[in-house]
Amino acid sequence: MRKFNGWSMALYIEGRNSNSKMTEKRGAGMRSVLSKRDLRQLEFLELLMNCGPVALSRISEETNYPIRTLSADIKQMNAYLWPIQVVTGAEGVTLEIPPGSSIREAYSLLLRQSREYQLISYLFFNEGKTQEEIAEDLFIGVSTLRRMIGAMNHALQSRDMHIHSAPFRVEGDESRISQLYIGLFSELSYDGGSLITARERETLVELCAGMTEEIGMKLNYPDLIRITIWVYVRLGRIKHGHHTNYAKEEAAYFQSKLIENAALCEKFYSVFGVPLTNELLFELFRLFLRKGFAKNYGHMQAIAAASSVHRLLLAGIDELIGRVAKSLEISSKDTAPLRLDLFNITQFADQPTHILYCKEKVFTEGFMRSHGAIAPIIRKNIETVLGQASSSAMYEIFYLLVTHWPSLIEKLKKEAPGITIGLLFDSDIEHAQMIADIIRQYSKVSLQIMIPELEDMNPVSMLCKGIDLLVTDIPELDTPCRETVCIQEYPTSRDWRNVLLAEERIYRQKIMKAQGPA
């Protein structure tokens, strides 16, 4: 095990060490809150996500669940997963996802029908209800409710929280409870739209926009969604008397100009029923007001200069970026925004805020499958510099490196599978060149278009040596190419459709070949 470096030291800022196996258990803890049936169906769903058609008997062998149980699961899943469906056929069981849906929606739909998470969501809005009232509102028996809470508390204790029964509410580590609700509400509805009223959203957006502008942060739309849900959760918990641990003297020195906005203060009180004060604002936005949070690159350098812990963190970031840049032979001069994001996020990346669906995990695993040459290099360098850390931290850092580094993105573009198209027309070169220009406008993939010159006495033979797709106006042309599309002299919409479909088939084949077996 490596000695404390910039990464592991930084994780002590909040008094937590990511080099703990408990972190992994906590990450899995949110799944363990599910009932046995829901957890089994989640595992079934994930198995179908990661493989093609598979026989139900094989699934039964791999999961140790009887075929009869799995058949019943399919019926139940198809009832709540619509429009996503589990389909059985001659080739086996498959998961059919319409173009407008995604795997992410499947997780959300499973979460919505979970009685356990229905209860957790219910308690956010309805603290202090009796067990009879809760059972009636959730359409379950009182004895069922008691058994369910007992099982849930056994799972929740690994995250330092539990459901208290006198009165009924969620208690424990307030920071982790907030993470639970932020993750839950984000997965139930990507923007909280099903939970937050239009009036509440309007007020919170105005508050968040004003506050972030005051502290010097620039927001984009995804940022605003995340911060709005964060503030909504914290506000809901604070209204019920649940506060996070922070030094009161920190809040004492905080003064916001938003308090002087009488219209906003009046609006906030009328919507949420609590006065807008400096202390409340500090607790709502403490994530961005803490001493270690850097508002810009210069502020990050100033923080590092004044703190040995943050100085070590920044040194670890520099080492990681330097190693990856050297390994992939790319520039590190365009990494200032990346360094800032890594500085702010990695300090708290050991605290997962997802319930079932981790975007960074899905991204990382998909990237690993698609980029077999580059991905292991990035991962190895992260592990070398970061040492032992939680999987959530690894996924977060991997995601940031790949998506926030322009030079790395440019390298990926160059190494993406390309399609070589040959054009053979019995008219003239100018005609072929015009068609080539139009194909470039229509196509969304990297293309190399080859047109035979006059000196090519055997153009079909020449073109087919190195191309994936031959586009020609000569019908019934016998070629060894992977795909051949014959078009009119001036292509029709049907012609373009055939060209694009051929490109898509070829590109998909190349991607699948690069990914290898699932």
For residue 234, which of 178, 169, 280 has the smallest C-alpha distance? 178
Residues composing the chain = 518
Torsion of CA 417, 423, 429, 434, to 10 degrees: -70
The secondary structure of 434-465 as a DSSP string is HHHHHHHHH--S-EEEE---TT-SSHHHHHTT
For residue 211, which of 199, 223, 196 has the smallest C-alpha distance? 223
The three-state DSSP-derived secondary structure of 271-331 is HHCCCCCHHHHHHHCHHHHCCCCCCCHHHHHHHHHHCHHHHHHHHHHHHHHHHHHHHHCCC
Instruction: Provide the pLDDT for residue 458.
Output: 54
- State which H helix or E strand residue 374 sits in: none
Instruction: Provide the pLDDT for residue 70.
Output: 95
> End-to-end distance of the chain based on CA atoms, in angstroms?
32
pLDDT tens digits, one per residue of 290-325:
888 898 899 999 999 999 999 999 999 999 999 999
Q: Which residues of the chain have pLDDT under 70?
A: 1-29, 247, 348-353, 388-389, 444-465, 514-518
Tell me how far CA of residue 346 lies from CA of 284, 326, 331, in angstroms. 21, 22, 22
3 state SS of 477: coil
pLDDT tens digits, one per residue of 96-144:
988 778 888 999 999 999 999 999 999 999 998 999 999 999 999 999 9
Pairing outcome for strands 419-424 and 168-172: unpaired
Distance CA 27, CA 389 (A): 12
**Quick one: CA dihedral 263, 261, 292, 340, positive or negative?**
positive
**Quick one: CA dihedral 277, 280, 283, 286, positive or negative?**
negative
Tell me the residue type at 377: I
Q: Quote the tokens at residue 435.
A: 């068609």
Place of tokens 């919409």: 493
- The residues facing 171 across adjacent strands are 162
pTM comes to 0.79
Instruction: Provide the pLDDT for residue 226.
Output: 86
For residue 432, which of 467, 474, 479, 468 has the smallest C-alpha distance? 474
Query: Which pairs count as long-range contacts for 374-381, CB under 8 Å and 24+ apart, including other chains?
Result: 374/328, 374/411, 374/412, 374/415, 377/324, 377/327, 377/328, 378/324, 378/328, 378/402, 381/320, 381/323, 381/324, 381/327
Q: How many CA atoms lie within 13 A of 373 on its CB side?
A: 7
